[in-house]
Amino acid sequence: MKVLLLGPPGSGKSTQAQRLSRALSYFQVSTGNLIRAHIQSDTELGRSIKGYNDRGELVPDDVILKIILPNLEPAGRWILDGFPRNEAQARELQAALEKRDISLSRVIALEAPDEDLTARIKGRRQSLATGWTYHVEYDPPPEKRGDLDTGPFVRREDDTPEAVRRQLELYHQEVEPLKAHYEKQGILTAIDARKPIQEVTEDILQALSPARAG
Ligand code: ADP
Ligand code: AMP
């Protein structure tokens, strides 16, 4: 199983990827998490991309490809969230998959209106210990520290109104048109991401079930 999750910022890509990877034992490849790990570790690469991340701009394609492609194991089961983010990345992904004799099982497009997304991002918290995503109201971090996730639970550097506006703009310009490409291949399923988190997970599991059985 090789699955892509597409969707605007705040639609729940990382929330769903982390739940699905846990439920199905998939490997979660999250471009955003990989980028933030480089920034937090203050690597040379991290320093070179921090500005793009904090402004809500796309990190240059050559950098993102170098980070992402080694993770796409031919034999593995993975769920990729946050990639591709433009046509050039989609072409590079296609070429890399063909070279490894891999085909995508399904592309899930999470859909929600911009108004819902900004409210979600406002309450988003991320665990510095696990990278796991929470929401102060809709998916609160575990209260008992030392439990599953010790935190701390912080706001992301790019969860500012300006960066979110730019991410949304880029989503509509660059990512949304990619859906037609996967639709033509017959592997796209659109999911209503306005529903509660657990319902969205169930809808995705339903969409993946024929591919998992096959
Ligand atoms: P993305 O990875 O697409 O940017 P996230 O997974 O980070 O989105 O989700 C954004 C915020 O919205 C997080 O705080 C998350 O807990 C919350 N969230 C995700 N899905 C839902 C949902 N279906 N309903 C309510 N809140 C959600
Ligand atoms: P995300 O965690 O998916 O919201 O991504 C956070 C930030 O990481 C984005 O605003 C970009 O700066 C960067 N990023 C994530 N995925 C990509 C990608 N595929 N191409 C370019 N930049 C990306």
Mutate which of 18, 31, 116, 138 to test ligand 1's pocket (most atoms within 8 Å of Cβ)? 138
In a domain, 58, yes or no: yes
Query: What's the CA-to-centroid distance between 139 and ligand 2, angstroms?
Result: 22
Residue 212 scores a pLDDT above 80: no
Residue 50 scores a pLDDT above 80: yes
In a domain, 147, yes or no: no
Nearest CA to ligand 2 atom 11: 58
Residue 183 scores a pLDDT above 70: yes
Query: What's the CA-to-centroid distance between 120 and ligand 1, angstroms?
Result: 6
Q: Which structural domain range is residue 204 located in? A: 2-113+176-213
In a domain, 165, yes or no: no
Query: What's the CA-to-centroid distance between 12 and ligand 1, angstroms?
Result: 4
* Backbone φ/ψ region at 180: left (φ over 0), alpha (ψ -120 to 50), beta: alpha
In this predicted model, which residue has the larger pLDDT, 129 or 32?
32
In a domain, 36, yes or no: yes
Alpha-carbon torsion (62, 1, 32, 71), positive or negative = negative
Q: Give the pTM.
A: 0.95
**Of the ligands numbered here, which is closest to the C-alpha atom of 16?**
1
In a domain, 136, yes or no: no
**Of the ligands numbered here, which is closest to the C-alpha atom of 119?**
1
Number of domains in the chain: 1
pLDDT tens sequence across 150-165: 889 999 999 999 999 9
**75: exposed, middle or buried (Cβ count in 10 Å: 0-12, 13-18, 19+):** exposed
| pLDDT for residue 214 | 60
**191: CATH:** 3.40.50.300
**Of the ligands numbered here, which is closest to the C-alpha atom of 88?**
2
